């Protein structure tokens, strides 16, 4: 089954899957590093095919229509953003943008919920958001408080996701979570000192004392 | 406007778009609107539908630019992927409404419908030349999939081949195409 799903990478790059196949492949993609790597190269080749069609000149009013609508949408977005004080210097790190999508989504969903662990970390002065690649990111405050925001599907039966704080090559347990179709927001159960790495592995239910598999998500050093 | 967006990379423009900068969106449209419209026309064969596809794709760029950095891709790849996906969605929706299927022959549009500068003619020729050098069955799988908007299952049925064969033609075809385009130096010749 896993192999079969892997073979969907080229049809996916060409947008040649039906909706059901596409959903199945995207779930697989979240967990399969090899597919993500293959996809990056194949997508690039597929996009080049667009140039093979030749350029055509759209009517000038198309540009105006697009820009008018974009500006109209911006008015709404800005009003949401202003409701919260975003303490992270936005231009500071590419990492911020990398997980911004995930975080903004959660942020919107938790506007009413000040007990949200991510919000608790991000509201501290000097908090930073560190990318974990495609899976999401981790927010870390100078106090060592940290919270994960990761897109990992529900763990299979008998399994759990386990978070780790890794420092000087030593991994310390930092909490379990089940995963969900939406984004998981998880408080990291121990302080995250500067220079450490936060990672997530899939383990047997109940968790383990040391990671037994390759991380599904891993941050850069904090 | 006081800023010279023309000199910024596509990626830099996208990060401005992520900050809701509409002038940066306009600049990206100036760079990719023509290619986007060309490929949408080829897939949809209808000007109004092609414009809808381009509009939806650029609004998706506007709404989700902040996700781009998480993708391991060049900005041009990401934008053209969004355009292609919208066009394919629209063509499938149209197909399901029509009694008569759209003509499938992946012929390029007539030259007079395409307004091209020299560089874009050059890019087009390189891609077409690379396609021509693929084994015919791989070329066919890519063209019917990418320009024809067919799913792998529709393709398997139409060509009377097992699904596994179609997948592997797509995989080999795209891999080879990428190598041929890299040899031709196309990546450098496309402004990005």
| Burial (CB count <10 Å: 0-12, 13-18, 19+), residue B7 | exposed
In this prediction, residue A204 has a pLDDT band, given cuts at 50, 70 and 90, of very high
The first and second tokens of residue A149, run together, are 């925001």
Contact A58 B33 (CB under 8 A): yes
The more confidently predicted of residues A110 and A16 is A16
3-class state of residue B95 by DSSP: helix
Q: Whole-model pTM above 0.90?
A: no
Within B100-189, residue ranges assigned H as helices are: 118-132, 136-142, 152-159, 163-183, 186-189
Please, how many CA atoms are within 13 Å of residue A111, restricted to the half-sphere of its CB? 10
Question: Which candidate from B41, B63, B69 shows the least CB-CB separation from A97?
Answer: B69
The answer, yes or no, to whether residue B169 has pLDDT greater than 50, is yes
CA dist A16 and B163 (Å) reads 12
Q: Could you give the CA distance from residue B35 to residue B80 in angstroms, rounded to a whole number?
A: 8
Topology of A2-52 in CATH? Answer: Arc Repressor Mutant, subunit A (1.10.10)
Residues from chain A that touch B55, judged by Cβ atoms under 8 A, are 62, 65-66, 69
Which pLDDT score is estimated for A115? 55
Residue B118: per-residue pLDDT = 62
Give the pLDDT band (50/70/90) at residue A194: confident
ipTM (interface pTM): 0.88
Q: A116 or A128, which is more confident? A: A128
Q: Are B175 and A41 an interchain contact pair (Cβ–Cβ within 8 Å)? A: yes
- Which pLDDT belongs to residue B29? 97
A71-79: Cβ within 8 A, 24+ apart: A71/B22, A73/B59, A73/B62, A73/B63, A74/B20, A74/B22, A77/B20, A78/B20
Over residues A86-117, the pLDDT tens digits come to 333 333 333 334 344 344 434 333 333 445 67
DSSP A134: B
Contact B43, B57 (CB under 8 A): no
Listed by start position, the domains of chain A span 2-52, 66-218
How many residues in total does chain B contain? 192
**Domains of chain B by range and CATH?**
1-102 (1.10.1740.10), 116-192 (1.10.10.10)
């Amino acid at each position: 089954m896993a192999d079969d799903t892997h073979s969907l990478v080229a049809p996916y790059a060409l947008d040649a899957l039906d909706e059901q196949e596409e959903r199945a492949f995207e779930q697989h993609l979240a967990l399969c590093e090899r597919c993500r790597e293959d996809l990056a190269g194949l997508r690039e080749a597929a996009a080049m095919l667009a140039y093979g069609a030749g350029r055509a000149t759209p009517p000038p009013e198309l540009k105006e229509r697009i820009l008018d609508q974009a500006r109209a949408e911006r008015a709404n977005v800005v009003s949401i953003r202003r409701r919260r004080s975003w303490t992270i210097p936005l231009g500071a790190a590419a990492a911020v943008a990398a997980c911004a999508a995930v975080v903004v989504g959660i942020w919107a969903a938790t506007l009413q919920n000040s007990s949200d662990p991510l919000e608790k970390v991000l509201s501290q002065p000097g908090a930073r958001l560190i990318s974990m690649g495609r899976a999401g990111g981790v927010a870390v405050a100078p106090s060592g408080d940290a919270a994960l925001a990761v897109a990992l599907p529900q763990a299979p039966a008998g399994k759990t996701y386990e978070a780790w704080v890794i420092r000087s090559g030593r991994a310390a347990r930092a909490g379990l979570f089940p995963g969900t179709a939406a984004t998981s927001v998880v408080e990291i159960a121990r302080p995250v000192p500067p220079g450490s790495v936060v990672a997530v592995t899939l383990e047997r239910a109940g968790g383990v004392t040391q990671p037994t598999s390759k991380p599904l998500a891993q941050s850069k050093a904090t | 406007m006081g800023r010279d967006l023309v000199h910024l990379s596509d990626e830099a423009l996208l990060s401005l778009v992520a900050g809701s900068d509409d002038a940066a969106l306009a600049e990206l449209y100036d760079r990719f609107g023509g290619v986007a419209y060309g490929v949408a026309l080829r897939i949809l064969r209808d000007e109004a539908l092609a414009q809808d596809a381009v509009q939806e794709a650029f609004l998706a760029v506007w709404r989700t630019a902040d996700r781009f950095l998480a993708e391991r891709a060049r900005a041009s790849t990401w934008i053209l992927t969004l355009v292609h996906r919208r066009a394919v969605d629209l063509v499938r929706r149209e197909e399901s409404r029509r009694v008569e299927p759209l003509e499938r022959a992946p012929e390029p549009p007539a030259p007079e419908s395409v307004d091209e500068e020299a560089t874009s003619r050059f890019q087009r020729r390189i891609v077409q030349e690379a396609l021509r050098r693929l084994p015919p069955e791989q070329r066919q799988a890519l063209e019917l999939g990418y320009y024809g908007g067919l799913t792998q299952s529709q393709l398997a049925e139409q060509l009377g081949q097992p699904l596994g064969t179609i997948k592997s033609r797509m995989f080999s075809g795209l891999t080879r195409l990428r190598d041929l385009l890299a040899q031709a130096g196309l990546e450098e010749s496309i402004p990005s």
